[in-house]
Amino acid sequence: MVERRRYRTVVSDSALWARFRFRDGDIVISTPPKCGTTWMQMLCALLVFDTADLPRPLTEISPWVDATTYDTEAILAGLEGQRHRRFVKTHTPLDGLPSEAGVTYVCVGRDPRDAMLSFEHAVANIDPVAIAAGGLDQHTGPPPSEDPLERFRVWADAEFTPESDWFGVSLANLVHHVRTFWDHRDEPQVALFHYADLKADLPGQLARLADALSIDVPLQRLGELADAATFEGMRNRADELAPGVDAKLWRSNKDFFRAGTSGQWRDLLDAATLDHYRRRVAELAPPDLVEWLHTGSP
């Protein structure tokens, strides 16, 4: 039996997966934070239900299984009662998840620099009341620098940490997460996508996803469904699609879908910081993975 790595942060604990009873056909969406988790949940919902009119808010249909900030018993009971094909969310890498026959594991990668900036914007959008209520203000590390370039360097230089008293967000953790999928990307139960590819050709990537999930959808229908998953379309439905709306997590639900663009890091990083980043990421991943992380499919 392969021993799974345990991942713990202030908001999650992969040990909770031991309480989840899998079914044949289940879909596990496992992404690093701010790499397109909600987007992939929406794409799975469109394929599973064959409609953009979802029966309930997305976070209720596709909950975060190993989150510690929600009622685990209620989540598991809700999933047990679902009769449609189930698709669930996690930020746990593949080596921390149970390996189950008949389950498809889906990951989305993103340019780490964009993911880092997107995470900073997300943290700034968390309502202070929700931070206090969830105990997220109990971080014991030093306060973050007011200099965004210094915060970027700290994020880039942090070591890989499967257990963290904060969110566990760092360049090393992101690369490790994607690499657990990259190393198994040719296996039939593993499906690896890239944020840039979703941006460039959403209908084509939705077709890829349908193939990975063995869901037969006519080409014209794929285009119609993809129209419901554009960034602007999802932003306009933020109150039913953003995670944490039930807990009033965000100052603005719409701002959870802030921009959805790539390359925003160019406005922040100077030449020295960018050179430092390139050296660091080369230490963490082989050249083919580094290239894919920054560009997506050839």
In this predicted structure, the answer to whether residue 228 has a pLDDT above a threshold of 50 is yes
Q: Which of 84, 91, 139, 176 is catalytic?
A: 91
In a domain, 3, yes or no: no
The answer to whether position 145 is within a domain reads yes
pLDDT recorded at residue 168: 86
- 91 catalytic residue (yes or no): yes
Query: Mean pLDDT, to the nearest integer, of 186-212?
Result: 96
Q: Which pLDDT score is estimated for 1?
A: 40
Residue 2: alpha-carbon gap to chain centroid = 24
**Which residues, other chains included, contact 259 with Cβ-Cβ below 8 Å and sequence gap of 6+?**
none
Which pLDDT score, from 0 to 100, does residue 186 have? 96
- Is position 256 within any domain? yes
CA angle 231, 234, 235 (to 5 degrees): 85
Q: Which residues have CB under 8 Å from 37's CB, separation 6+?
A: 29, 31, 89, 91, 108, 243
> Facing residues of 12 across strands?
9, 67
Is residue 132 domain-resident? Answer: yes
Of 21-25, 44-48, 102-106, 147-151, which range is least confident?
147-151
Residue 279 belongs to domain spanning: 8-295
DSSP string, 89-135: EE---GGGS---TT-EEEEEE--HHHHHHHHHHHHHHB-HHHHHHTT
Q: What does the pLDDT look like over 94-119, one tens digit per residue?
A: 999 999 999 999 999 999 999 998 88
Whether 275 is covered by a domain: the verdict is: yes
Residue 205 lies inside a defined structural domain of this protein: yes
Contact 61, 54 (CB under 8 A): yes
Q: Which of 197, 170, 23 is nearest to 104 (CA)?
A: 23
Residue 145, pLDDT score: 72
> pLDDT category, 264, cuts 50, 70, 90?
confident
Of 95 and 268, the structure prediction assigns the larger pLDDT to: 95
Give pLDDT, residue 137: 55
Give the residue ranges of DSSP H helices in the chain.
37-49, 58-61, 72-81, 112-125, 128-133, 148-157, 171-182, 195-200, 202-212, 219-227, 231-235, 238-241, 253-256, 271-284, 287-295
Determine the average pLDDT of the residues in 185-208: 96
Question: For 15-25, what is the mean pLDDT?
Answer: 97
Q: Is residue 166 part of a domain?
A: yes
**First-to-last C-alpha distance (Å) of the chain:** 36
| Dihedral angle sign, alpha carbons of residues 248, 161, 145, 115 | negative
CATH number where 92 lies: 3.40.50.300
State if pTM tops 0.85: yes
Provide mean pLDDT across the span 247-263: 64
Predicted pLDDT of residue 133 = 55
Residue 201 lies in a domain: yes
Above 80 in pLDDT, residue 47?
yes
Beta bridge partners of 87: 27
- Biggest distance spanned by C-alpha atoms of the chain: 54
- Residue 72 near residue 157, CB atoms below 8 Å: no
Average pLDDT, the chain: 89
pLDDT at residue 243, rounded to an integer: 73
Question: Total domain count for the chain?
Answer: 1
Tens-place pLDDT, residues 104-160:
999 999 999 999 988 887 666 566 665 555 555 555 555 677 888 999 999 999 999
Per-residue pLDDT at 225 exceeds 50: yes
